[in-house]
């Protein structure tokens, strides 16, 4: 890194002459509302209130096929389960509509849905993300692939939302 040379005496006098009569500005317009530590604590407390015990990472990118409909099957699960989801053999027992939500809200609602499914022994859920700008349509599969109870998911058949929804098959401990 290059060091800037110190100003000469003449430059310093010119600068002082140029700023003569000014006063120091008092910073009173920008206030830090929440500090990062406080934000994290509040977010954690909100999750605890909702009973959400799984957190999704936005950095994780699972290997999902780009061609064809959105689909995923866990390694220890038969691919036939994925076909059953695709054909609509498993009807959804619960629906989650994420229309109009931002990513943070959608993430919290999805985590709460998965927690509820485990508590209520619900095996198949439909997550309606809508079409919009494709933001949630791209994020939801990566979030679902991270959850340990998700056995498989597939783009929903037309009668349950088609392109704007995903059917999720869950592994529920009885």
Residue 120 is part of a domain; what is its CATH number?
3.30.1370.110
Query: Per residue, what are the HEC states of 90-127?
Result: CCCCEEEECCCCCHHHHHHHHHHHHHHHHHHCCCEEEE
Residue 12: inside a domain, yes or no? no
Residue 138: inside a domain, yes or no? yes
Residue 105: inside a domain, yes or no? yes
Instruction: Place 169 in a pLDDT band, splitting at 50, 70 and 90.
Output: very high
Residue 126: inside a domain, yes or no? yes
Q: Which two tokens stand for residue 69?
A: 């409909």
- Out of 25-29, 87-91, 120-124, pick the least confident: 25-29
pLDDT digits over 61-108, tens only? 777 776 667 888 888 888 898 888 888 898 999 999 988 888 888 888
Residue 167 pLDDT > 90, yes or no?
A: yes
Identify the pLDDT of residue 86: 86
Q: Identify the domain containing residue 120 by its residue range.
A: 35-168
Q: What is the mean pLDDT of the chain?
A: 82
Per the structure, the count of domains in the chain is 1
Average pLDDT over residues 10-25: 88
Instruction: Place 30 in a pLDDT band, splitting at 50, 70 and 90.
Output: low
């Amino acid at each position: 890194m290059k060091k800037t040379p110190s100003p000469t005496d003449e430059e310093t006098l010119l600068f002082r002459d140029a700023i003569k009569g000014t006063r120091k500005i008092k910073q009173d317009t920008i206030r830090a509302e929440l500090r990062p530590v406080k934000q994290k604590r509040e977010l954690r407390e909100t999750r605890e209130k909702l009973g959400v015990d799984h957190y999704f990472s936005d950095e994780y990118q699972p290997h999902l096929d780009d061609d064809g409909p959105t689909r995923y099957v866990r390694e220890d699960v038969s691919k036939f389960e994925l076909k059953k989801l695709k054909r609509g053999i498993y009807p959804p027992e619960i629906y989650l509509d994420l229309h109009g939500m931002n990513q943070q809200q959608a993430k919290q609602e999805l985590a709460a849905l998965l927690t509820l499914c485990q508590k209520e022994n619900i095996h198949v859920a439909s997550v309606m993300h809508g079409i919009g700008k494709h933001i949630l349509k791209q994020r939801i599969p990566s979030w679902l692939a991270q959850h340990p109870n998700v056995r498989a998911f597939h783009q929903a058949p037309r009668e349950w939302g088609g392109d704007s929804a995903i059917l999720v098959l869950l592994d529920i401990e009885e």
